[in-house]
Amino acid sequence: MDKIELIFNMYKDSVVISKPFKREMIKRYKLSDEEIRNLYIRIQNYQVNHLGGRLTYQERSYTDDKRRTVNRQATQRRYGKRNPKEKSDLLQNYFGDVIGEVDSLIKQASELKN
């Protein structure tokens, strides 16, 4: 199996975009422009014949209500990471002062031991 055939088998079932693909082939495999062009055309023809069309990245489209919801959730994730102290306060409110209780149990055990 030659180098071109191996590269074809590696990339035939993935999304291939022209300029990044060409840069990668030049950088990694040191192929000429003609070899890259023929390989790119071969991959595109394979995808059309076997998969029914070229593979592309999916663009997400939302309705206005769904877009607002997704935007709000993304904003909450982004700003929720800024102050992690609030989360520890919430956990302390939920679980109570566990460390303080453990300290008091240790003191009681040491008093009973004596």
Kindly report, residue by residue over 49-92, the tens digit of the pLDDT: 998 889 888 877 888 888 899 898 888 888 776 665 555 666 66
**Residue 84, pLDDT score:** 59
Distance CA 7, CA 77 (A): 39
Look at the chain and report how many structural domains it folds into. Answer: 2
Residue numbers of the domain that contains 21: 3-51
In this structure, is residue 58 part of a structural domain?
A: no
Residue 42 and residue 83 share a domain: no
pTM exceeds 0.85 for this model:
no
Residue 31 and residue 72 share a domain: no
Residue 70 and residue 35 share a domain: no
Residue 31 and residue 8 share a domain: yes
In this structure, is residue 59 part of a structural domain?
A: no
Question: CB of 47 within 8 A of CB of 53?
Answer: yes
In this structure, is residue 31 part of a structural domain?
A: yes
Higher pLDDT, residue 40 or 56 = 40
